[in-house]
Amino acid sequence: MPEADPRDERMWERGWDGHEIAQRRRMARLSLAEKLEWLESAQQLVFHLKRGTKAGGAEPPDPQR
């Protein structure tokens, strides 16, 4: 059986070795529009996490009640 090519996108990195390089390669292949879309999604996730809302839209209980 031939050894897997580490550049093959169907292969997942094992552990942290090579993960940073593979992630940089994936990001380098994105177009500017795709990078902006990714950044907007990441920003929405940060806002969501800062609000402390749970998945499904349920608001956390008010701690003052």
Q: What tokens were used for 49?
A: 């996490």
> Does the residue 23 lie in any domain?
yes
Q: What is the pLDDT of residues 4-60, one digit of tens each?
A: 555 555 666 666 777 888 888 888 999 999 999 999 999 999 999 999 866 555 555
Q: What is the pLDDT of residue 65?
A: 47
User: Which range marks the domain in which residue 42 is found?
Assistant: 19-51
13 CB-near residues (< 8 Å, 6+ apart):
6, 19, 22
Domain count, the chain: 1
Q: How far is 28 from 15, CA to CA, in rounded Å?
A: 22
> Does the residue 29 lie in any domain?
yes
> Does the residue 62 lie in any domain?
no
Whole-model pTM: value is: 0.48
> Does the residue 64 lie in any domain?
no
